[in-house]
Amino acid sequence: MEYAKTRHELHRIAEASNQETRTKAYILEVLKSLHPTKIHTFDNANHIVAEYDFGGGPTTLIRGDFDAVRVNETLDLPYRSETPGVAHKCGHDGHTTILLGLAERLSKDPLPHGKVLLFFQGAEETGEGAAQLLDSKFLEQHKPDRVFALHNIPGIPLGNVICRENSFTCSVISCDIELHGRTSHAAEPLKALSPYPAAKELTDKILALSQHDMLRDDYRIATLIEFRIGEPAYGVTAGHAVLRFTIRAKDDALLQEMKANIEHLSASLAERDGLQHKISWKEYFAASKNDPAMVQQLKNVCSKLQYPYADKETPFSWGEDFGLLTQHYPGALFGLGSGEEQPPLHHPDFDFPDSIIHKGIELFYHLVTEGD
């Protein structure tokens, strides 16, 4: 397999979460020549699981995500995204190429025993993909003994590995808060019931829940995404408000505490001002909680391959869908350096480096035999 050519094709056909039909078809076509024991697809999602069953031994699941983000392609690449407003600016094209390369390696160099499930996952960016797999009951049938995934990390030297025990990424969730009052003629604002005082106070109180020091156990951040009141109708007072926030915390317990605080604040301020209110929670990412034994297996593999490894002092503040799987199965999410000069994830100028694909393949191939 020509790794760069494969990644470039995936980059070119970039698709947003839950819309990855061309990407799914391309992966299935490549897998035909890589001789999995079985290929599993799913009725209500674009995921694929390529199963390699060598008989007996542990079952290991390796995940590679393949959805893109809603960012315009700005780089003048020969393989630039053909999808307007959508591009692989998080490196999922590289993650998927690594998983296809691992399939090729397993086909050429079979294991003495054990089962490997290569989970090609869509809808990671929206936090839906892992939940879709769990809801399908597929994992209940196959009962993985361990689960692994990697994410490329800009700012880290090419090919260096970073990980940590316990939370590797934060718990993250977003919400829409609607406050409904009453409109009036703009000439008679006193006859309206404005949501503005409650919306402003609620926003200030939610933002005040933040504690920005990542070194503390109670690290948590509330970020205002949108503050909107009224409509562009100049003869009508504002009677409705929508507030959107993303909140994140070092672990799930702290995130649930923040959710409860926000629900209490919203309800109490709405009741005080006579407003109707509604909260919708969405795009939940569980903290990726790394099992110490799985982290040790990763360290052993890095030592064997002579890949530089470092423990990260604190979790990453962003969320990762893989965390939902590590809530149910022992596993680890780790970082693979994509270069100190690489722009950050989701930046328009980001492009996954082809030079680290082979390192990802080697890491995963040795992980499926480590600890056997």
DSSP 30-94: HHGGG--SEEEE-TTS--EEEEEE-SSS-EEEEEEE---BS----S--TT---STT-B--SSHHH
Q: List per-residue pLDDT tens for the chain, 372 residues long.
A: 999 999 999 999 999 999 999 999 999 999 999 999 999 999 999 999 999 999 989 999 999 999 999 999 999 999 999 999 999 999 999 999 999 999 999 999 999 999 999 999 999 999 999 999 999 999 999 999 999 999 999 999 999 999 999 999 999 999 999 999 999 999 999 999 999 999 999 999 999 999 999 999 999 999 999 999 999 999 999 999 999 999 999 999 999 999 999 999 999 999 999 999 999 999 999 999 999 999 999 999 999 999 999 999 999 999 999 999 999 999 999 999 999 999 999 999 999 999 999 999 999 999 999 866
Helix locations, the chain, DSSP H: 3-12, 21-31, 92-108, 129-135, 138-142, 196-207, 252-273, 292-305, 323-326, 357-367
Q: What is the dihedral of CA 85, 90, 91, 92, to 10 degrees?
A: -80
Query: Which has the closest alpha carbon to 89: 103, 78, 105, 75?
Result: 75
| E strand or H helix that includes residue 136 | none
Return the exposure string of 160-183: e unless at least 16 CB atoms fall within 10 Å of the residue's CB, then b.
Answer: bbbbbbebbbbbbbbbebbbebeb
CA distance 133 to 150: 18
pLDDT, mean over the chain: 97
Contact 16, 66 (CB under 8 A): no
CA distance 45 to 48: 9
Say whether domain 3-169+288-367 belongs to CATH 3.40.630.10: yes
Q: CA neighbours within 13 Å on the CB side: how many for 148?
A: 32
Tell me, what's the pLDDT at 372?
Answer: 60
Q: Which CATH architecture describes the domain 171-284?
A: 2-Layer Sandwich (3.30)
What are φ and ψ of residue 316, in 5° steps? -75, 145
Alpha-carbon torsion (92, 244, 281, 288), positive or negative: positive
| E strand or H helix that includes residue 2 | none
Contact 100, 27 (CB under 8 A): yes
Tell me, what's the pLDDT at 371?
Answer: 64
Query: Which has the closest alpha carbon to 285: 243, 327, 257?
Result: 327
| β-pair partners for 290 | 166
Rounded to the nearest angstrom, the gap between the alpha carbon of residue 199 and the centroid of all alpha carbons in its chain is 30
CA distance 97 to 92: 8
Tell me, what's the pLDDT at 148?
Answer: 98
Contact 76, 6 (CB under 8 A): no
Give the DSSP letter of residue 127.
Answer: T
Helix axes 357-367, 292-305, angle to 10 degrees: 120
Measure Cα distances from 316 to 252, 350, 353 in Å: 14, 18, 21
Q: Where are the domains of the chain?
A: 3-169+288-367, 171-284
